């Protein structure tokens, strides 16, 4: 009961506060922009044909009502919350009348497949290599890995993406330049092979950079645990070093790394914007980019809301999982 009252309920309440504030900010920021999407839509129509001023005004009022921009800011805010609670993100400005839900739904599977796999692979590799390098720093193989990843670490991932794109699609055309797969979705080996072929380079560019970051974090945490008294005692007691590394060092460095994994998985819903644009990958990042350049408020707000809820939920789940990894939380 104490765990529920003092640990679980405050974090669930914090989740509601974070989502509420995030949704409110998402509503306000586009309305501070000098670009009015309704005026742009009317201007596009009137630029191709002459329209009666009254007809243009009726069209403008219709669009404002359709996009939830009718009435005062408070009226719009109430209407916005009603739509959010119903899961209705409205129609897209740039791809009218396609609903934003449909656009995000068509893209989210690609992004989850790409980023979900990349995050898990880079997390496992980073922990494995960082823990080995931190515990066995004098091994030649670990020194080589350390030098390579330290060189890669400060390089932005989009630079890696551009370099890989030039090397493996232009100078050495092994992988396709753009796209997520060849043909329409179907459960067949040919489609799966095409899917892996198209997603390999985008995933590789993300994995390399993310592995270097997690390697640095795991190595620093391992150094700290290696110098602790219980590890030194285990070494003096002739406990096998592999057992020390796995059950004494890695296990005690998992809390911050589980947090990193949870938040990274939560951030999947915002997409890998630059990587997806560079490779022409049909994920959420590409949809967000097109929404930004066309001032599509509904698309931008929809993806932002999805990202806020995803990260807040991931943070909540990570917090609630701490008692499973750290007994001190259960007995505090």
Q: Could you tell me if residue 44 is inside a domain?
A: no
What span, in angstroms and rounded, lies between the C-alpha atoms of 108 and 105?
5
pLDDT digits (tens, 9 = 90+) for 260-280: 888 787 777 766 777 878 787
Decide if 83 is inside a domain.
no
* Cβ atoms < 10 Å from Cβ of 173: 9
Give residue-wise pLDDT tens across range 228-261. 888 888 878 888 888 888 888 888 888 788 888 8
Range of the domain at 264: 106-292
Cα(117)–Cα(124) distance, integer angstroms: 11
Kind and range of the H or E run holding 23: helix 9-31
| Alpha carbon distance 248, 231 (integer Å) | 7
- Cite the DSSP H helix spans in 166-296: 189-226, 229-236, 241-243, 254-266, 273-278, 284-293
Residue 32 lies in a domain: no
> Is residue 151 included in any domain, yes or no?
yes
Q: How many domains does the chain have?
A: 1
Which residue, chain included where needed, has tokens 């997409």? 271
CATH at residue 278: 1.10.3720.10
- SS3 of residue 6 by DSSP: helix
> Residue 1: inside a domain, yes or no?
no
- The string over 237-271, giving b where at least 16 C-beta atoms fall within 10 Å of a residue's C-beta and e elsewhere, is eeeeeeebbeebbbebbebebbbbbbebbbbbbbb
State how far the alpha carbon of 285 is from the alpha carbons of 4, 7, 140, 278, 314, in Å.
Answer: 38, 35, 40, 10, 19
How many alpha carbons fall within 13 Å on the CB side of residue 239?
16
Is residue 9 a part of any domain in this protein? Answer: no
Of 69, 73, 81, the C-alpha closest to 23 is 81
Q: Is position 82 within any domain?
A: no
Output the pTM of the full model.
0.78
Query: CB–CB of 19/313 below 8 Å?
Result: no
Task: Decide if 33 is inside a domain.
Answer: no
- Per-residue model confidence as pLDDT tens for the chain (332 residues): 566 666 678 788 888 888 888 888 877 776 776 666 666 666 665 665 565 666 666 656 666 665 666 667 777 788 888 888 887 777 777 766 778 888 888 888 888 888 888 889 999 999 998 888 888 888 888 888 888 888 888 887 778 888 888 888 778 877 777 666 666 666 666 767 777 877 888 888 888 888 888 888 888 888 888 888 888 888 788 888 888 888 888 888 887 888 888 878 777 776 677 787 878 788 888 888 888 787 777 788 888 888 888 888 888 888 777 777 666 655 45
């Amino acid at each position: 009961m104490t765990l529920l009252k003092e640990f679980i309920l405050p974090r669930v309440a914090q989740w509601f506060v974070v989502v509420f504030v995030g949704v409110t900010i998402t509503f306000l920021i586009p309305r501070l922009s000098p670009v009015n999407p309704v005026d742009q839509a009317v201007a596009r129509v009137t630029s191709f044909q002459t329209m009666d001023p009254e007809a243009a005004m009726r069209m403008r009022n219709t669009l404002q009502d359709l996009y939830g921009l009718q009435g005062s800011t408070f009226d719009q805010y109430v209407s916005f919350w009603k739509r959010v609670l119903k899961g209705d993100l409205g129609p897209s400005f740039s791809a009218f009348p396609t609903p934003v839900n449909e656009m995000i739904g068509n893209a989210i599977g690609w992004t989850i497949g790409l980023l979900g796999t990349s995050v898990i692979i880079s997390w496992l590799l980073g922990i494995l290599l960082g823990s080995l390098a931190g515990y066995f720093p004098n091994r030649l193989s670990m020194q080589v890995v350390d030098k390579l990843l330290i060189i890669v670490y400060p390089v932005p991932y989009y630079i890696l993406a551009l370099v890989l794109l030039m090397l493996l699609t232009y100078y050495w055309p092994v992988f396709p330049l753009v796209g997520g797969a060849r043909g329409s979705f179907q459960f067949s080996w040919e489609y799966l092979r095409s899917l892996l072929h198209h997603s390999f380079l985008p995933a590789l560019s993300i994995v390399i950079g993310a592995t270097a970051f997690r390697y640095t974090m795991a190595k620093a945490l391992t150094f700290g645990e290696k110098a602790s008294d219980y590890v030194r005692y285990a070494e003096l007691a002739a406990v096998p070093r592999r057992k020390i590394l796995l059950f004494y060092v890695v296990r005690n460095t998992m809390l911050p790394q589980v947090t990193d994994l949870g938040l990274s998985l939560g951030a999947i819903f915002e997409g890998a914007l630059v990587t997806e644009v560079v490779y022409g990958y049909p994920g959420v990042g590409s949809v967000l980019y097109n929404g930004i350049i066309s001032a599509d408020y509904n698309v931008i707000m929809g993806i932002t809301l999805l990202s806020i809820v995803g990260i807040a939920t991931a943070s909540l789940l990570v917090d609630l999982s701490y008692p499973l990894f750290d007994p001190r939380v259960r007995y505090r």
